[in-house]
Amino acid sequence: MTLPTKLQEIVDDIASMSREEKLETLIAYAESMPDLPERFKDERSKMEPVPECMTPVFIIAEKLESGGIFFHLDIPPQSPTVRGLASILTNGLNGCSLEEIISVPADFYIPMNLQEAVSQQRINGFIGVLAHMKQAAVKASS
Mean pLDDT of all residues in the chain? 94
What pLDDT does residue 120 have?
92
Q: Report DSSP state, residue 57.
A: -
List Cβ neighbours of 58 (8 Å cut-off, separation of 6 or more): 44, 47, 48, 49, 50, 73, 74, 75
What pLDDT does residue 44 have?
78
Task: Name the residue ranges covered by the structural domains of the chain.
Answer: 5-35+48-141
74's enclosing H/E stretch is strand 69-74
List Cβ neighbours of 105 (8 Å cut-off, separation of 6 or more): 1
How far the first Cα of the chain sits from its last, in Å, is 27
pLDDT in tens, 40-96: 888 878 899 999 988 999 999 999 999 999 999 999 999 999 999 999 999 999 999
CATH no., domain 5-35+48-141: 3.90.1010.10
Beta pairing partners, 48: 59
State yes or no: pLDDT of 1 exceeds 70. Answer: no
